[in-house]
Structure formats: structure tokens, C-alpha cells
Structure 1
Amino acid sequence: MFTGLSAFPLTPMNESGINENEFARLVQHVAEAGVDSIGTLGSTGSYVYLSREERGRIAKLGVENAGSVPVIVGIGALRTRDVLALAEDAQRAGASGVLLAPVSYQKLTDDEVFSHYETVCRSLSVPLCVYDNPGTTHFEFSDELHGRIAQLPQVRSIKIPPVVNDIHAARERVTRLRKLIPSDVTIGISGDPAAATGLNAGCDAWYSVVGGLFPEQALAITRAALAGDTHNTSALSDALEPLWALYRDYGGSLRVAATMAELSGKVSQPCLPQPLKTLEGDDRKRVAQVLVQLGLM
């Protein structure tokens, strides 16, 4: 489950609620494409903007529409108490695993983060993926802290931030982390533009935003990497450079992915929780041009 391509679909919504039919179709699409797992309620799934009831509903819909594909459900929240409740809901919905980021308002210490994961792991009957995302949580894991947390019995994967676009430095990063974690804990790369480098550097999985919309392209990159074809992995990723440039220019993947989803007709507009907005004006036209250029629309 924590290897290969894990596709992370959007959670389409407006201020009236979640568009359940559109979410179900997104999940069905990536499942039919043959992804290795589906990650619901990640950052692209806007989990922090949803109530417990809404998150429980998304977990249930994800499992119901994924067929035989394992579903990983995000359970991050500010308080450990709330994470425990969300973990219970995810397990009750039939999740195959959970994804936990150390969400914070007050800056957390290493000991607080370890205690957070330790407490949550004691309540789990499914495996957990550690979500290392300093861009949104403002907490930076050290490799040593990852090593401590990876010893907890339910931890089976670490979702690391984008690696530098240097294969040698990326391999050093992955090798350094592997020395500190058990052999049965996988390392997954996030940050779509860095995915090819991360996979070629030895990561076991790609936790992918673009895979939640266009799984065929993401699967081609992942399969090439896991087959050891580093040249083709890089070439396939390089072909998507116009898309990666959008991520860089517009501050990350969420607004770009949501805009692509609207333009390609996969979701209706608006699809993000206020005050977030998809791209507008000339920026939106640029995204449309990239989709046409890449044959995605």
C-alpha cells in the first residue's frame, strides 16, 4: 500500500457543502486507472477546512468508490484528542491506512510531536504514514525524529517533502534516512515536480497530486522508476515541465490542481473552500494553455 503511486484527489466543495458525486467520480477514475493507493483528505483534499462529520463522510465515500484499491485517510488536526476521533472514524469507514501531519498553531517541539504520534499509534489497528509537510505545518522533522517515530509499531511509511533537484544529493538524503528507520518502513516522495528525482533516488512511493487528476501520466513515471529506468523516468517528468512551472509560479499545487480540475470538467466551479480561490484571468488562461499543450484537455 505504501509503495508505487498513491493518488491524492481533491475534495470538491463550495460553501453549501461537499460535492459528493464529483468526489466519488474522482476516486473512481484513479481507481480504474490502476493506482496503488488513494490518499483522501490530504492537503489537496482540504482536510483542515472540513468538520469531523464532513471528513468522516469523505472517508466513507473514498472507500466505497475505490473498489479494491487501498484508501489512506488523512487524520491531521490541532489536538491529539481530535486526531484520535478522526482515526476512529477512518477505521470505521474501512480505511486501509491513515496519514498524519503534525498540524499546529503554536510551534511544536520534537518531544510533543513524538508524543502525538505515540498516542495516536496506540489507538490504531491500521498502519500509519507520517506526513512531513513543513510548508503547511511549519514543523520540520529531523532525520533523528523520523527515526524515533518510525520505531512505533503502526508506522509503515514516511511522506517526505520535495528533495533537491540533484540526484546525488537526493540519494544521500534517502540513504541517510533509511539508516535510521526499520526496513519495513517505506519512504515516499511528495511534491510532484521533484517526484522523478525522489523515485530515482530510491524512494518507494510517490504521494501525488497530479495523480489524483491525471493518473495515467503519474503512473507512467512511477512504473518507469520502479523498473529502474531512470532515464525514462526523468524524460517523462521533463515532458510535464510546463505543469511543474505552474506549481512554482503559483505557490504550490492546490490552486493549480483545482483550476485544472475545473477547466477539464472534472469538478464544477467553485471547488475550494473560502477564502481559497482557483486561478483567475490571465493565470487561468495560462493553465488552460498548458492543459491543451500537454494533451490533458
Structure 2
Amino acid sequence: MFNGLSAFPLTPFKDEKIDEQAFVGFMDRLVDAGVDSIGVLGSTGSYMYLDRAERRQVIELAVKQAGNIPVMASISSLRLRDVLRLAEDAQQAGASALLLAPVSYQPLSEQEAYLLYEQVSQQVSVPICVYDNPRTTQFTFSDELHGKIAALQHIQSVKIPGISDDAMQAKARVDQLRSVVPDNFSIGISGDAVAVRGLNAGCEVWYSVLGSLFPKFCLEMTRHAQAGRAEEALKQSEQLSPIWALFNQHGSVRVAAAIAIYKKWISAPGLPLPLIPVGSSAIENIEDCLNALE
């Protein structure tokens, strides 16, 4: 489950409702490419903008389309009560794993974050991936807290934010985290611009935004890194520098939506309002890069 390329598709919207046809299109491309897993309702999937019924709708549709590819679903919410309800829905819908971030309105303490994972881990029957995303949650995990949470039942992976561009520093970061988590615990990298660095440094899985749009290219990068062909993987990632620059400037969800609109995979604006994708001119400037990905 927690290995290789895990693609995180958009949850496309049309007239402020989930565009099931467009979502099925994303899923079909991922299945055709043979990605290792699919993560729905991540940040790219706009989970915090969906109500309970909409989240279950997405999970059920994803599981139905995924076939033998495992689906991980976000259950993050402000209240523990709601997290547990979402966990029950996701499991009943057939999710193979759960993704949980410490989202909040009042900033959480480490004690409160630990309580969240402790309570959820006691009441589910499938693996949980810890979603470490300080940019959106405004919560920063200490390595000590990572170690305590990783020791809980069902906690089997962590989705860490981007790491250093420097290979030695990246490896040192992964090794440090590895030293506080159990054996066979999976460390996954997000932040597509440095994902290859993370894989080359020892991360087992790339939790990817771009992999949901261009899965075959991203799967090839992942396989190079997994096979020890670090330079080949880095060269391919460097080809995508214009895309990474837009991701860093505007946020990946806005750019991903704009790319999908440009490719006519979804209808504009494609995101739940008030979110809007970046302008078409920004995507036209990276047209050659997008064509290479095809």
C-alpha cells in the first residue's frame, strides 16, 4: 500500500457539484497507467471544502473505478467526532487506508494532536497515514511526536512535506525520521518539486499531485528512483522546473486545476468556490513542458 507512486487526483466541480464524469476520467487514466495507489480527498482533492455526503460519494466512486489499485481516503476534520464518522464512512466505502491531518481552527498542542491519532487508531481496522502538512494545517510535528504516533496501532506511514534540494541534507532528514519510527514504517514524500530528492534519500512512496495528471511520466520517475537510477530520475524532475515554479508560487491545487482545464479534462473553474485556478496565460507559458509529459 505505502510504496511507489501514490497519485492524488483533483475532486472536479461543475456548477458547484462534484463532476463525477470528470472524476471517472482521472481515475481511468490512473488505472491505465498502473499507479501503485490512489489518494482521494487530499489537499488536491479539496477535502476541507466537502461535506460528509460528498466525501463518501468521492470514495465510493474511486473504489469502484480503481479495481485492484488500493485507495487511501482523507478523514481529516476539525472535530474528533467528525473524524471518526468519516473514518467509518471511508471503511464502509472500501478504502484500503486512511489519511489523517491535524487540521484545526484553534492551533493544536502536541498533546491534542497525539490524542487525535490515538483515538482514531483505536477505532479503525485499516492502516492510517499521518499527513504532515504545516503549510495548510499550521501544525508542525516534532520528531518526538512522529515517533510516539508511529508507535500506535494502525499507523503505518507518514506523508512528509518537502525536504532539502541538497542530497546529503535530504538523506540526513529521512535518516533522522527513520531513527524514531518502527521498522517497516513507510516514509512518504510530498511536495512534487523535491519528490525525487526524497525518493533518492530513502522515502518509499511519492504522494503526488502531478502523478494524478500525468501518471505514466511520474511513474517512470518513481521507478528510476526505486531502482537506484538517481540521476535519471533527477533529470526528468528538472525538466519539469516550470511546473514546480508554478506549484510553489500559486499552490499545486490551483495549478493542477488550471492544467486539467487547459487539457479539457474538466470544466472551468473546476474547484469549489471561492478557490479559483491560475490564469490560462500561466499554463500557456508551460505548454511545451506539458506536451513533453504526454
Aligned length: 293
Query: Paired residue for 1:240?
Result: 240
The answer to whether 1:82 aligns with 2:78 is no
Q: AA paired with 1:292?
A: D
% identical equivalent positions: 51
Deviation of the 1:291 alpha carbon: 3.0
Separation in structure 2 between the aligned mates of residue 37 and residue 277 of structure 1, nearest angstrom = 27
Q: AA paired with 1:128?
A: I
Cα offsets for 1:46-103 (capped at 9, x unmatched): 0000000000110100100111100000100000100000000000000000100001
Separation in structure 2 between the aligned mates of residue 133 and residue 254 of structure 1, nearest angstrom = 14
Query: Paired residue for 1:185?
Result: 185
Question: Does the residue aligned with 1:43 lie in a helix, a strand or coil?
Answer: coil
Query: Paired residue for 1:253?
Result: 252
Query: Paired residue for 2:216?
Result: 216
Query: Paired residue for 1:122?
Result: 122
Deviation of the 1:14 alpha carbon: 3.5
Separation in structure 1 between the aligned mates of residue 232 and residue 226 of structure 2, nearest angstrom = 11
Q: AA paired with 1:285?
A: S
Question: Does the residue aligned with 2:5 lie in a helix, a strand or coil?
Answer: strand
TM-score (norm: length of structure 1): 0.97
Query: Paired residue for 1:279?
Result: 278
> How do residues 1-297 of structure 1 correspond to structure 2 at under 5 angstroms?
1-250=1-250, 252-280=251-279, 284-295=280-291, 296=293
Cα RMSD, aligned residues only:
1.0
Is contact 2:56-2:93 (8 Å) kept? yes
Q: AA paired with 1:67?
A: G
Question: Does the residue aligned with 2:277 lie in a helix, a strand or coil?
Answer: coil
TM-score (norm: length of structure 2): 0.97
Q: AA paired with 2:176?
A: R
Deviation of the 1:15 alpha carbon: 4.4
Q: AA paired with 1:224?
A: H
Cα offsets for 1:12-58 (capped at 9, x unmatched): 01443100111111112111101000000000000000000000110
Is contact 1:12-1:18 (8 Å) kept? yes
Separation in structure 2 between the aligned mates of residue 15 and residue 86 of structure 1, nearest angstrom = 25
Is contact 1:31-1:38 (8 Å) kept? no
Is contact 2:118-2:149 (8 Å) kept? yes
Separation in structure 2 between the aligned mates of residue 22 and residue 292 of structure 1, nearest angstrom = 24
Deviation of the 1:243 alpha carbon: 1.0
What stretches of structure 1 of length at least 5 have no aligned partner? none
Separation in structure 2 between the aligned mates of residue 115 and residue 197 of structure 1, nearest angstrom = 32
